Each structure stands twice: as C-alpha cells, then as structure tokens.
A and B are shown apart, each in its own frame.
Chain A
Amino acid sequence: MNIFRLAGDMTHLLSILVLLLKIYATKSCSGISRKTQELYAIVFVARYLDLFTDFISVYNTFMKVVFIASSLAIVWCMRFHPMVRRSYDRELDTFRHYFLVGASFALALILHEKFTVQEIFWAFSIYLEAVAILPQLVLLQRSGNVDNLTGQYIFFLGAYRAFYILNWIYRYLTEPHFTRWIACVSGVVQTALYADFFYYYFISWKNNSKLKLPA
C-alpha cells in the first residue's frame, strides 16, 4: 500500500459518500445515470468473487464489502425508493449499456490472465469499469446542467482513477516485477474518458461559476 493507492481508494470512497449524501439529503437522483450505477454494481460483484477464496487484508475485505453494498444500495434506491425513483431522468438515460456488458465480457474471454471463471470475471470487471462512466457522461451532456453534488461525485471518481495511475507508476518503479497490462491499460483508458469532464470542471472552478457542459 502506497500513498497514491490509499488516496485513490479514499477518493473512490468519498465519491460514493457524496452520491449517497445527494440521494439521502435531497431524496433525488436527478442527474445520476442508473445505468452507470448498475454497471458499477455488476463490476464489484464480478470482481470480488475472490472475497471468500483469497484473503489479502482486513482493509481489502472491508473495502470490497463496502463497495458491493453501497453500489447495490444506490441501485436499489434508484429503482425502488418511492421518492428517489420519481426523480430519475429516465428519458435522458438512454445509453444502451448492455452493449458495454456484452463487449466487456467478450473481451474478457479473449484477453485474460488465466482461463478460469474467477480470472475471466476479474478481467470482465476491469474492462466494464473502464467504460461504466459512459452512460453518466452522456446523461450529463444531454441535461447540460450539473448540480454541485453530482459534479463533485464525478470529480472524485475521476480523481480516484488518476491516483491509481500514480500508484501504478510508483509500483512499477519500486517493485521488481510489477507488470499488469490488463489493469493498467484499462485504467488509462478509463481515466482518459474523464479528461473532457475535468476540463469543464476546472474551467467552472476557475471562474467560480456553475458547471455547465457544452451541448
């Protein structure tokens, strides 16, 4: 564990807390893509199949349980909470996310570290996480306006990815045999998807104005 990895995990956790806070405090999920949230729930469940077979650390197990539970809770709220579900921007959230699931799984069948059920689901989760933000970015682009908490949610999610890249650079330089092509290449692709959002987030922060995305 290095400082970049810890910062990455903490900003990831913070992003989920911001999202839960938004949903809880405003009883609204407007501006949030349910499809992206469903993809994250699939990502965590598929990746943490090793929860019962490999023990790494108490921290690791705790975080895995938090990520699975929070992502399922968010999806549950958006689907079934009587007030929250009414604020869902259904007509804006039309990205065909099943394509992403299918494509990620197909890629995992081709590119994986070992041909075992766990390893294929692990690779699948890495590929799916890389593109899971797309429905969310498309929704924001369509609605144009981004409320503060939604903007901060995506900002922290992007920060988490940026810290993970620094973590890999650090590990590459300090660990003798650190090569993880699948995770690193997917991670760079995932972070690149946030570049546009970060640009507009930075502009609005600099001008102290509300975050707006161009149509």
Chain B
Amino acid sequence: ADVIAEHDEL
C-alpha cells in the first residue's frame, strides 16, 4: 500500500 505523507498537499 502507498504510504501517504501527512501534508502531501500544497
């Protein structure tokens, strides 16, 4: 599964 970074949005 992909690990989603906490603040991956700009």
Contacts and interface: CB of A to CB of B under 8 A. Distances in A.
A183 interface: yes
A5 B7 contact: no
Chain A at the B interface: mostly helix, strand, loop or mixed?
A: helix
Interface residues of A, number: 17
Given A56-B5, A183-B9, 18 more contacts: A5-B9, A9-B10, A12-B10, A47-B7, A50-B7, A54-B5, A54-B7, A56-B8, A60-B8, A60-B10, A63-B10, A64-B10, A67-B10, A113-B6, A122-B7, A164-B9, A167-B9, A175-B4
Interface of A: 5, 9, 12, 47, 50, 54, 56, 60, 63-64, 67, 113, 122, 164, 167, 175, 183
9 contacts: A12-B10, A50-B7, A54-B5, A54-B7, A67-B10, A113-B6, A164-B9, A167-B9, A183-B9
